[in-house]
């Protein structure tokens, strides 16, 4: 219990842009008695024992530096190479997507190793095996690998840019292990959803994962706001508009093949569920 009659010491005042969650977690770890007063445009940090002020100031300096580093990363203050080094999962996904694009363009006989179900080319047609046979043969990688297949420059450029823009906000926050698990779940759910919707067909692309990352950011930031997860509302609106436009069938009229709309929708829902779980877990800490 805290003696409410003890005078408290004001240590710092933060703007509303400062994320106090990391600071609170650090103060709790150090067993420092504190309170946060939330004002209209700012927050105040008070501590109970004046002798702890220097320790709190050191923690505040470290956390402020970390948040500024994240801010510099998002606005381009950190080199692209340095960002790649800090985000091995996103870097690996981009590299594997480029390999998948190269296979589609120049190594098509190899493509059957990456599709959701095995296939063979007979004359001018493609014959598909069933996904059940692939799973029975232990080819579980097929649940994931279609995300690396991209059909053309626009396809890889569009997905790659969104993967970078969204993924670089999540991996520094979650860590590479949790990022890997999240991407695998988004990939499996979106690929499986597309297969169940369209049946045996040649589909691929990172867009199911991209929509999963969008859903993750959208919901997690709603539940547990973080500056790194703040994306422009226009970006969110555009992506959702593009999703519904694709589902309407209008885009298919102007392109060869069709958009994997089920993968987009299932990916979005999967990401929202994962983001909700992560945000809820953080808010309870």
pLDDT at 219 over 50: yes
> Residue 72, Cβ neighbours under 10 Å: how many?
11
- Count of alpha carbons within 13 Å of 168, Cβ hemisphere only? 24
Last residue of a domain, one of 75, 99, 123: 75
Selecting among 97, 182, 190, 207, the annotated active-site residue is 207
For residue 112, indicate whether it is catalytic: no
The verdict on 271 and 143 lying in the same domain is yes
The verdict on 101 and 209 lying in the same domain is yes
pLDDT computed for residue 76 by the predictor: 57
The verdict on 47 and 107 lying in the same domain is no
Tell me: the pLDDT tens digits for 50-104?
Answer: 888 888 888 888 777 766 666 666 655 566 677 777 889 999 999 999 999 999 9
For residue 127, give every residue at least 6 positions away whose Cβ sits within 8 Å of its Cβ, in sequence order, or none. 119, 120, 121
Angle between helices 88-106 and 153-174 (to 10 degrees): 160
Tell me: the pLDDT tens digits for 170-180?
Answer: 998 899 999 99
User: Hey, which residues does 42 pair with through a beta bridge?
Assistant: 15
Exposed/middle/buried for residue 173 (C-beta within 10 Å: 0-12, 13-18, 19+): middle
In 26-114, DSSP assigns E strands to: 34-38, 42-47
The verdict on 135 and 203 lying in the same domain is yes
The verdict on 40 and 175 lying in the same domain is no
For residue 264, indicate whether it is catalytic: yes
Selecting among 150, 155, 221, 264, the annotated active-site residue is 264
Report d(CA 60, CA 234) in Å as an integer. 33
């Amino acid at each position: 219990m805290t003696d409410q009659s003890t005078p408290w010491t004001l240590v710092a005042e933060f703007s509303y842009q400062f994320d106090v969650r990391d600071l609170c977690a650090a103060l709790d770890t150090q067993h420092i008695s504190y309170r946060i007063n939330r004002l209209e445009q700012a927050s105040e940090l008070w501590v109970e024992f004046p002798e702890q002020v220097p320790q709190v100031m050191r923690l505040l300096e470290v956390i402020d530096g970390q948040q500024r580093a994240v801010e510099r990363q998002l606005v381009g203050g950190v080199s692209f190479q340095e960002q790649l080094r800090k985000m091995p999962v996103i870097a690996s996904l981009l590299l594997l997507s480029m390999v998948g694009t190269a296979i589609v363009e120049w190594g098509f006989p190899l493509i059957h190793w990456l599709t959701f179900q095995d296939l063979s080319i007979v004359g001018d047609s493609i014959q598909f095996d069933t996904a059940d046979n692939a799973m029975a043969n232990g080819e579980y990688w097929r649940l994931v690998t279609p995300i690396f297949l991209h059909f053309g420059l626009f396809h890889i450029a569009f997905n790659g840019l969104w993967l970078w823009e969204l993924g670089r906000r999540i991996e520094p926050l979650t860590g590479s292990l949790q990022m890997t698990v999240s991407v695998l779940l988004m990939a499996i759910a979106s690929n499986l959803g597309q297969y169940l919707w369209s049946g045996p067909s040649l589909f691929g692309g990172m867009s199911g994962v991209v929509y999963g990352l969008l859903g993750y950011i959208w919901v997690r930031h709603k539940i547990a706001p973080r500056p790194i997860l703040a994306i422009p509302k226009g970006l969110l609106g555009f992506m959702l508009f593009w999703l519904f436009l694709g589902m309407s069938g209008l885009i298919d009229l102007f392109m060869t093949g069709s958009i994997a709309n089920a993968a987009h929708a299932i990916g979005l829902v999967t990401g929202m569920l994962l983001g909700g779980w992560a945000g809820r877990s953080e808010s309870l800490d």
